[in-house]
């Protein structure tokens, strides 16, 4: 890391050529910013460098001034420099700045991406600009054009913007090979990476340069940010506001606080973690008549530009947005950033709050608004870590086989044919593939040959193009998975307002239904499946559905969850010694950016837990608790480790008992639904006895039945060109696809991707080793505990009121439809099938005996299946059989409606019968009653035997 600057003050600018220096004062550059002081001299010398500095400190000019200086002297014949950005729409302000420098220096600066016209592309091929701003995907297309390949042979500089974003994705792995393909044409060129936040600069430097050496110029981002974590107290105004917003007073206090922050500033970005939350929060502000817009990736391009322009012009004071606003979209000056709920990651918080205060040496300020104890503690840890610059590692995709497949075909597009060994050597010069075994490369090539995407000449050891090469490559320029979406149009204006997932359309959308988008309410007029369009009209009705978008919960890293565990461990002896909450909170306030009252809210559950005499789960203690069939493993190790631990426990306990085990995980606990006879002691035994060396093999076995693997396998198969081979024109189920591809590189890559993106195999093995060595204590609690039952409520993120309005109903309905049930014929006892609720027939019937007496059981309830089939039953089996018969009677009388009710959490036959038996005018009330029963179950389950 470059800790000592090479030049100070104007000396940095002295490293630039005369033409650039003469323009500096005209452009308003008097003294260099911190990254410019430190990075311009080595960049002017032609060195490769990674520049890490806060947003708004002139990173673009830091990289481009030395590049412009070099180009002004050499005047390239072809493309002199590439500026690669992950964004299709380059920040307009940045584009204007680059074009100004181009005009002043008589250098042609142009942009090329997916929306560039054919005419403009043709002009760029015939007369290449000096500097081309482009995306990773467009670079892939450029490499295959004869004229553009000739132009790329002149490249001397490549700048990669937002390099941290690319390093963590397959897009980035693809780009690194693309840059090696450019290097084959142009020879060595200067590589410059730009980022606001990087946790592992040396790794990202290797990613950028192919591990050929890289200067790291890092300006401390923590010195440029200030945070305030706030859990608002409910006021009398919030009580009144709750009625107006049809929500509860707690949520109303969040809306009120954010409204007040917007009112105290001129321009505020309000970041949320999901698109659903953006729509729900936006609709609340609309109800209040506040000048606050909504911005996320599922809105149409026109709708996004409209709200961006309105914010920039000061027509609206606030913008509720998701990660769509993290990466440099130009919305003018931002005074303040609000983060609603914990941002889950340090890098995300820095990226978001970094949008505020874009002026030299100005501090970026942000407020994190939290809503629960877990949420508050997590936000405190993240805020402290952000000020300390403790950013997460990037998570580079090493050895991604579908990316490898894509780039083997790319090389053939470049060259027509290529020696297999030469292709292997070129690809392994890219850092993510440096350790790729040659045999794996050849297996992937053989898979591509089997999919008719290339030919292999075994005698000459040469790969050649085939009839499918061209079509495959242009269909797969991007490594982003293809998601089917429907465009939403306002039929009165024929203006596109956004998109909806196919799943949402299939499961919910019918003419007459309503939903929220852009914070506004719409009624569906008609659906055109052939054109994938939904036509809508605006309405004033207060009920609406929040659209369901593709996307996963942002995972909380182990380090963040571990700090929350550490905070609990610090508070435990103080509470045990009789200290009051206010005193403990005041002590924490010296270390964390929040007032004592907010910290007290965060510590409330810890205090109740200690007062009840339970051991506290910390960063070095796991606490296992349970009652009946519900067991919680309190483990402060983050989403990925806990998901991995949960899958492992579920598989191993299932293996011991011969029954399925239900599992849910959050950053601080793993919830298990287990067969009778499984106790916390059983779970502790499994944790202490499992060999860490076997974790990976056990998890691969456990994954084979998971929807996660099947979903990932379908996307990976598409990137291998394998789906067409197996699927033809018909849908091909996940089970059959898995069976067809199990012994192929396609399957290997799907497993690798799930391990990389969903799980933490190595860290979980280390955790089990630490348990084995006694470094991590595993203890049992004598009962259910406050921390064990106080998990983050997913409902609150959707702003769910107690009296749920229609925007909640789809969330419940969609979740239940995606849950699994066991259908069991209680007449013959022979037939049982585990399936998703949505796939259950309206009137279930046994295919073996034709009976309609079909019980709907929880997916882990293998014991009831055994009980029904047992010829001689013990007392417990008699009880289970009676319950199965009551379930079957309900399903026989009410069909799928009964299955839906029985699939809900904590709703047995008795409660299901009460829910079904109610007379209703509104079908949404059915799901409201289910939600009410689920809430009752959640409140009381810790007292159940």
In angstroms, the CA 544 to CA 703 distance is: 37
Helix, strand and coil content of the chain, in percent to the nearest 5, comes to 50, 15, 35
In angstroms, the CA 54 to CA 67 distance is: 21
Instruction: Give CA 583 to chain center in angstroms.
Output: 38
According to DSSP, the residues that pair with 669 across neighbouring strands are 634, 666
In angstroms, the CA 216 to CA 195 distance is: 11
Same-domain status, 462 and 503: no
Instruction: Give CA 745 to chain center in angstroms.
Output: 25
Each residue's pLDDT tens digit, 8-26? 445 889 999 999 999 998 8
The 10 Å Cβ neighbour count of residue 892 is 19
In angstroms, the CA 225 to CA 222 distance is: 6
pLDDT value at 803 more than 60: no
Same-domain status, 291 and 375: yes
Which one of 6-20, 85-99, 688-702 scores highest in mean pLDDT?
Answer: 688-702
CA-to-CA separations, 79 to 112, 143, 473, 835, in angstroms, rounded: 12, 13, 24, 56
Q: Is residue 550, in this structure, part of any structural domain at all?
A: no
Q: Is residue 38, in this structure, part of any structural domain at all?
A: yes
More confident residue, 940 or 434: 434
Same-domain status, 190 and 332: no
Q: Is residue 564, in this structure, part of any structural domain at all?
A: no
- Where do runs of H (alpha helix) occur along 368-437? 373-387, 401-415, 420-427
CA atoms within 13 A on the CB side of 342: 29
Q: Is residue 608, in this structure, part of any structural domain at all?
A: no
CA atoms within 13 A on the CB side of 704: 14
Query: For the chain, what is the total number of helices (H) and then of strands (E)?
Result: 40, 29
Domain's final residue, options 387, 414, 431: 387
In angstroms, the CA 917 to CA 897 distance is: 11
Q: What are phi and psi of 114, to 5 degrees?
A: -60, -25
pLDDT value at 729 more than 90: no
Same-domain status, 767 and 854: no
pLDDT at 647: 92
Each residue's pLDDT tens digit, 862-901? 889 999 999 898 888 999 999 999 999 999 999 999 999 9
pLDDT value at 257 more than 80: yes
Same-domain status, 718 and 621: yes
- DSSP H or E segment with residue 474: helix 469-475
Q: Is residue 55, in this structure, part of any structural domain at all?
A: yes
pLDDT at 552: 53
Same-domain status, 187 and 251: no
Confidence class for position 522, pLDDT limits 50, 70, 90: confident
pLDDT at 152: 95
Same-domain status, 137 and 165: yes
Which one of 296-305, 456-465, 662-671, 859-868 scores highest in mean pLDDT?
Answer: 456-465
Can you tell me whether residue 48 is helix, strand or coil? coil
Q: Which range among 480-484, 533-537, 636-640 shows the weakest confidence by mean pLDDT?
A: 480-484
The 10 Å Cβ neighbour count of residue 223 is 13
Q: Is residue 361, in this structure, part of any structural domain at all?
A: yes
Q: Is residue 47, in this structure, part of any structural domain at all?
A: yes
Residues with Cβ within 8 Å of 466's Cβ and at least 6 positions away in sequence, in order, are: 452, 453, 454, 455
Can you tell me whether residue 60 is helix, strand or coil? helix
Same-domain status, 28 and 56: yes
Q: What angle do CA 250, 252, 258 make, to 5 degrees?
A: 110
Can you tell me whether residue 842 is helix, strand or coil? coil
Same-domain status, 154 and 234: no
Domain's final residue, options 168, 201, 220: 220
Query: At 268, which CATH number?
Result: 3.40.50.300
CA-wise closest residue to 444 among 137, 171, 716: 716
Count of domains in the chain? 6
For 295-307, b/e burial (b = at least 16 CB within 10 A) is bbbbbbeebbebb
For 579-615, b/e burial (b = at least 16 CB within 10 A) is eebeebbeebbeebbbebebbbbbbbbbbbbbeeebb
DSSP state of 233: P
DSSP string spanning 554-587?
PPPPHHHHHHHHHHHHHHHHHHHTT--HHHHHHH
Q: Residue 661: which region, alpha, beta or left (left: phi > 0; alpha: psi -120 to 50)?
A: beta
Burial of 286: CB neighbours in 10 Å, binned 0-12, 13-18, 19+: middle
User: Please, what is the average pLDDT of the chain?
Assistant: 87
DSSP string spanning 315-338?
SSSEEEE-GGGTS--------EEE
Q: What angle do CA 477, 478, 484 make, to 5 degrees?
A: 115
Q: Which range among 92-101, 138-147, 333-342, 770-779 shows the weakest confidence by mean pLDDT?
A: 92-101
Confidence class for position 328, pLDDT limits 50, 70, 90: low
pLDDT value at 527 more than 80: yes
- DSSP H or E segment with residue 607: helix 596-611
pLDDT at 576: 93
Each residue's pLDDT tens digit, 107-124? 999 998 877 888 988 999
Tokens describing residue 281: 């929060």
DSSP string spanning 115-150?
TS-HHHHHHHHHS--SEEEE-HHHHHHHTT-HHHHH
- DSSP H or E segment with residue 926: helix 924-940
Domain's final residue, options 190, 220, 250: 220
Residue % of the chain over a pLDDT of 70: 89
Confidence class for position 724, pLDDT limits 50, 70, 90: low
DSSP state of 618: B
CA atoms within 13 A on the CB side of 111: 17
Q: What angle do CA 337, 338, 343 make, to 5 degrees?
A: 110
Confidence class for position 556, pLDDT limits 50, 70, 90: very high
Same-domain status, 32 and 151: yes
Q: Are 221 and 34 in contact (CB under 8 A)?
A: no
Each residue's pLDDT tens digit, 819-845? 889 999 999 999 999 888 988 988 999
- DSSP H or E segment with residue 670: strand 669-673
Sign of the C-alpha dihedral, residues 496, 499, 505, 508?
Answer: negative
Mean pLDDT of 743-770: 95
Domain residue limits at 840: 802-943
Q: Is residue 449, in this structure, part of any structural domain at all?
A: yes
More confident residue, 600 or 859: 600
Same-domain status, 770 and 918: no
Residues with Cβ within 8 Å of 922's Cβ and at least 6 positions away in sequence, in order, are: none
Q: What is the pTM of this model?
A: 0.78
pLDDT at 383: 96
Q: Residue 613: which region, alpha, beta or left (left: phi > 0; alpha: psi -120 to 50)?
A: left
Confidence class for position 550, pLDDT limits 50, 70, 90: very low
In angstroms, the CA 298 to CA 615 distance is: 45
In angstroms, the CA 296 to CA 547 distance is: 12
More confident residue, 210 or 807: 210
Same-domain status, 698 and 823: no
pLDDT at 7: 44
Can you tell me whether residue 423 is helix, strand or coil? helix
């Amino acid at each position: 890391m470059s800790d000592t600057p090479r030049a100070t003050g104007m000396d940095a600018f002295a490293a630039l050529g005369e033409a650039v220096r003469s323009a500096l004062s005209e452009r308003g550059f008097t003294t260099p910013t911190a990254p410019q002081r430190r990075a311009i001299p080595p960049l002017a010398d032609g060195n490769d460098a990674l520049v890490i500095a806060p947003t708004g400190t002139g990173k673009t000019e830091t990289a481009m001034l030395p590049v412009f200086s070099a180009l002004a002297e050499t005047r390239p014949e072809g493309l002199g420099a590439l500026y690669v950005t992950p964004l299709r729409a380059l920040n307009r302000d940045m584009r204007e700045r680059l074009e100004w420098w181009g005009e002043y220096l008589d250098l042609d600066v142009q942009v090329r991406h997916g929306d560039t016209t054919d005419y403009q592309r043709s002009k760029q091929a015939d007369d290449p600009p000096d500097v081309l701003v482009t995306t990773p995907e467009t670079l892939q297309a450029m490499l295959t054009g004869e004229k553009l390949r000739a132009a790329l042979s002149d490249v001397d500089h490549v700048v990669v913007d937002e390099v941290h974003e690319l390093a963590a994705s397959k897009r980035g792995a693809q780009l690194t090979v693309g840059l090696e393909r450019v290097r084959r044409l142009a020879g060595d060129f200067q590589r410059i990476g730009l980022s606001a936040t990087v946790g592992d600069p040396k790794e990202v430097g290797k990613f950028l340069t192919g591990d050929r050496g890289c200067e790291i110029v890092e300006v401390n981002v923590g010195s440029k940010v200030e945070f305030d974590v706030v859990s608002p107290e409910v006021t009398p105004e919030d009580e009144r506001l709750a009625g107006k917003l049809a929500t509860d007073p707690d949520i109303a206090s969040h809306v009120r606080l954010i409204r007040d922050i917007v009112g105290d500033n001129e321009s505020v970005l309000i970041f949320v973690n999901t698109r659903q939350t953006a729509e729900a929060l936006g609709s609340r502000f609309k109800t209040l008549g506040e000048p606050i817009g909504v911005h996320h990736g599922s809105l149409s391009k026109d709708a996004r530009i409209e709200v961006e322009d309105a914010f920039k012009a000061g027509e609206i004071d606030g913008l509720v947005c998701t990660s769509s606003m993290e990466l440099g979209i130009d919305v003018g000056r931002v005074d303040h950033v609000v983060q609603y709920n914990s941002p889950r990651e340090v890098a995300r918080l820095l990226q978001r709050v970094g949008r505020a205060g874009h002026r030299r040496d100005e501090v970026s300020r942000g407020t994190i608004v939290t809503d629960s104890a877990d949420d508050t503690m997590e936000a405190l840890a993240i805020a402290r870590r952000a000020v300390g610059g403790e950013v997460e590692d990037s998570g580079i995709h090493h050895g991604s086989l579908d990316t490898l497949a894509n780039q083997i075909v790319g090389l053939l597009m470049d060259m027509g044919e290529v020696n297999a060994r030469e292709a292997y050597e070129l690809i392994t010069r890219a850092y993510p593939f440096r350790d790729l075994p040659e045999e794996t490369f050849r297996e992937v090539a053989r898979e591509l040959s089997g999919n008719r995407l290339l030919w292999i000449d075994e005698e000459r050891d040469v790969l050649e193009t085939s009839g499918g090469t061209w079509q495959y490559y242009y269909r797969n320029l991007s490594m982003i998975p293809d998601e089917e979406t429907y465009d939403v149009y306002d039929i009165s204006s024929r203006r596109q307002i956004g998109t909806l997932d196919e799943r949402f359309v299939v499961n919910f959308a019918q003419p007459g239904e309503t939903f929220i988008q852009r914070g506004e309410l719409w009624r569906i007029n008609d659906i055109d499946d052939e054109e994938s369009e939904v036509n809508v009209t605006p309405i004033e009705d207060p009920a609406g559905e929040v659209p369901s978008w593709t996307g996963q919960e942002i995972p909380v890293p182990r380090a963040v969850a571990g700090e929350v565990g550490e905070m609990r461990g610090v508070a435990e002896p103080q509470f045990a010694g009789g200290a009051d909450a206010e005193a403990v909170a005041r002590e924490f306030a010296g270390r964390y950016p929040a007032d004592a009252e907010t910290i007290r809210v965060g510590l409330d559950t810890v205090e109740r837990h200690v007062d009840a005499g339970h051991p506290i789960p910390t960063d070095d203690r796991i606490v296992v608790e349970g009652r009946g069939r519900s067991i919680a493993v309190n483990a402060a190790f983050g989403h990925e480790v806990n998901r991995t631990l949960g899958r492992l426990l579920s598989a191993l306990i299932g293996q011991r008992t011969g029954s399925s085990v239900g599992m849910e995980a959050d950053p601080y606990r793993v919830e298990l639904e287990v067969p009778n006879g499984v106790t916390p002691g059983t779970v502790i035994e499994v944790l202490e006895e499992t060999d860490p060396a076997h974790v990976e093999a056990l998890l691969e076995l456990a994954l084979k039945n998971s929807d996660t693997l099947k979903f990932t396998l379908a996307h990976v198969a598409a990137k291998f060109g394998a789906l067409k081979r197996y699927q033809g024109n018909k849908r091909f189920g996940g089970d059959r696809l898995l069976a067809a591809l199990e012994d192929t590189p396609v399957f290997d890559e799907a497993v690798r991707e799930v391990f990389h993106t969903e799980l933490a195999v190595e860290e979980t093995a280390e955790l089990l080793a630490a348990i084995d060595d006694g470094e991590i204590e595993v203890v049992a609690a004598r009962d259910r505990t406050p921390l064990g039952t106080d998990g983050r409520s997913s409902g609150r993120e959707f702003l769910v009121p107690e009296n749920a309005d229609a925007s909640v109903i789809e969330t419940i309905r969609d979740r239940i439809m995606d849950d699994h049930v066991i259908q069991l014929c209680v007449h013959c006892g022979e037939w049982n099938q585990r399936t998703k609720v949505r796939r259950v027939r309206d009137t279930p019937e046994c295919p073996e005996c034709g009976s309609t007496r079909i019980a709907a059981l929880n997916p882990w309830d293998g014991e009831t299946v055994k009980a029904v089939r047992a010829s001689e039953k013990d007392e417990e089996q008699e009880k289970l059989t009676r319950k199965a018969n009551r379930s079957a009677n309900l399903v026989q009388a009410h069909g799928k409606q009964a299955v839906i009710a029985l699939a809900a959490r904590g709703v047995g036959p008795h409660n299901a019968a009460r829910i079904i038996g109610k007379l209703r005018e509104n079908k949404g009330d059915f799901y409201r009653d289910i939600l009410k029963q689920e809430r009752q179950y959640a409140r009381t389950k810790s007292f159940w035997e």
